[in-house]
A and B are shown apart, each in its own frame.
Chain A
Amino acid sequence: MQGYEPVQQNNVQQSNSNTYNNSLSSTLEEPVYETIWRDVKAIGLKVRIVLVPFGNNLNALRDWDLWGPLLMCLTLALVLGAAKSTVDSAAMFAGVFVVVWIGSSIVTLNGQLLGGTLSFFMSLCVLGYCVFPLVVCSIIFYWLNTWYLRLMLVVPACGWSCFASTAFLSGSVPQDRKALSMFPIGLFYVFISWLVLSM
């Protein structure tokens, strides 16, 4: 299992088939912890990209993975559910979980039907990762209860999420349909921010 240089499996943008096949064969024999660590680093990288959505980071979300959306969704649902009384917490958890997943799917479907060129999973990935500022807000709000401080935090967070997701997704829809495809994304994040604000 030793003796192979671990190469980023997703770094296959080269058109040269020799280097392509070399990079593939090295990852087929790699030790297990390399595989795990590579995926963990990829998730961390994407979260950092969402935090600073400028410049040539836009291409890095091309290697989609659904771990980010799953973790964001679970964290958000758990925190929002834990903030409610025990009677409501399960319902809140289920509600948030469903809203995030079905909301993302519907927004993605909308983008696809309007002629977007992005793949379904890539849009899901972007939307899931861009919930991250709101997840951070919700964790802060677990202890912060004053409404005006919450408002001061949630509005920039919502704006940040919307800005990040439109930065990644707007390039793929035709010019005349941009507003039509970006509006549901804005609605999605405003809805989640409202849930976070009122937790």
Chain B
Amino acid sequence: MTDIEKGNLTTDTFPGDEDDNATPATSFLTQEERYTAVGSSGNKIEDAREFIRTTYNQGCPCGHPIATFFHLFFKVGALFVYFWSMFATSFVIPFVICILFISFDFWTVKNITGRLMVGLRWWNEVQEDGSNVWRFESRENLDDVAQMDSYFFWVVLYAQPVLWVLILIVSILLAKPSWFFVNALAIVLGSFNAWGYFKCQKGKNIIKANTKNGGYNLLWHGSWL
């Protein structure tokens, strides 16, 4: 009879402890991590359930599967259309679709996937006198950012401009000048996003924000040009 069946729920062992096979939900965690997760309630079973619930969502060990999908979708779409246009004869429609995909990707990563997946945000503000201020923010409590989400987000974010630079080199060799604009746009927008989120991580000059309802720290306040 296990401890649970005996009605003793306050022990330090968990159901399934005797059985070393991890469940699919938590197979990416070590045994330590699986059973030492502590949430707000203090009860280890509740906290473990809470931990699993927040990081295992619809069959994927990441916190935001839809955001992850869109983080990739427009980038892959732009690449796909770009390569398809190399062999297709039409110019205008693939060009327009590529430009739109790259723009949507920039907007999605900047406004949606960044704040959902890693809790970071950056933007530009124009003051009363016309000067520019760049703002970089992070969520105050970053403990619940899923590790898969974070890993995936940063890898894809940095890989995009690098990949497009390689494609630019290849297309210079293949001499397709009409697509340089698309290439340049992808590189510029991708690097812009990468720069913005990189700055969010720096963590200098943290100013405590109003912490009601989970406040957010203003991480960096500077001026640009």
Q: What residues make up the interface of A, taking CB atoms closer than 8 Å to B?
A: 4, 9-10, 12-13, 18, 21-22, 24-26, 28-29, 32, 35, 39, 62-64, 67, 70, 74, 78, 81, 89-90, 93-94, 97-98, 117-122, 172
Is the pair A18, B139 in contact by a Cβ cutoff of 8 Å?
no
Q: B residues within 8 A CB of A78?
A: 92, 96
- A74 interface neighbour in B91, B96, B129, B181, Cβ under 8 Å: B96
Q: Is B111 an interface residue (CB 8 A)?
A: yes
Q: Is B148 an interface residue (CB 8 A)?
A: no
Q: A residues within 8 A CB of B125?
A: 10, 12
As a 0/1 sequence over residues 115 to 157 of chain B, the CB contacts with chain A under 8 angstroms (1 = contact) are 1000101011110111110000101000000000000000000
Q: Which of B92, B181, B218 has the most A CB atoms < 10 Å from its CB?
A: B92
- A118 interface neighbour in B90, B130, B210, Cβ under 8 Å: B130
Is the pair A172, B92 in contact by a Cβ cutoff of 8 Å?
no
Q: Which of A28, A74, A81 has the most B CB atoms < 10 Å from its CB?
A: A28
- B216 interface neighbour in A25, A64, A172, Cβ under 8 Å: A25
Q: B residues within 8 A CB of A97?
A: 181
19 A-B interface contacts by CB (under 8 A): A9-B123, A13-B128, A21-B210, A22-B210, A25-B210, A25-B212, A25-B213, A28-B115, A28-B119, A28-B121, A29-B214, A39-B107, A62-B130, A74-B99, A89-B92, A93-B91, A94-B178, A97-B181, A119-B131
- B132 interface neighbour in A26, A119, A172, Cβ under 8 Å: A119
Number of interface residues of B (CB under 8 A): 36
Q: A residues within 8 A CB of B95?
A: 93-94
- Contact flag A35-B213 (CB < 8 Å), given A28-B139, A70-B103, A119-B126: no
Q: Is B81 an interface residue (CB 8 A)?
A: no
Return the 7 tightest CB-CB contacts between A and B, nearest first: A21-B209, A90-B91, A21-B210, A62-B126, A117-B130, A93-B92, A25-B216
Q: A residues within 8 A CB of B103?
A: 67, 70
Inter-chain CA distance A60–B225, complex, in Å, is: 22
Q: B residues within 8 A CB of A10?
A: 125
Q: Is B112 an interface residue (CB 8 A)?
A: yes
Q: Is B215 an interface residue (CB 8 A)?
A: yes
Please report which residues of chain B, range 195-225, place their CB below 8 angstroms from some CB of chain A when the two chains form the complex: 209-210, 212-216, 218, 225
Q: B residues within 8 A CB of A94?
A: 91, 95, 178
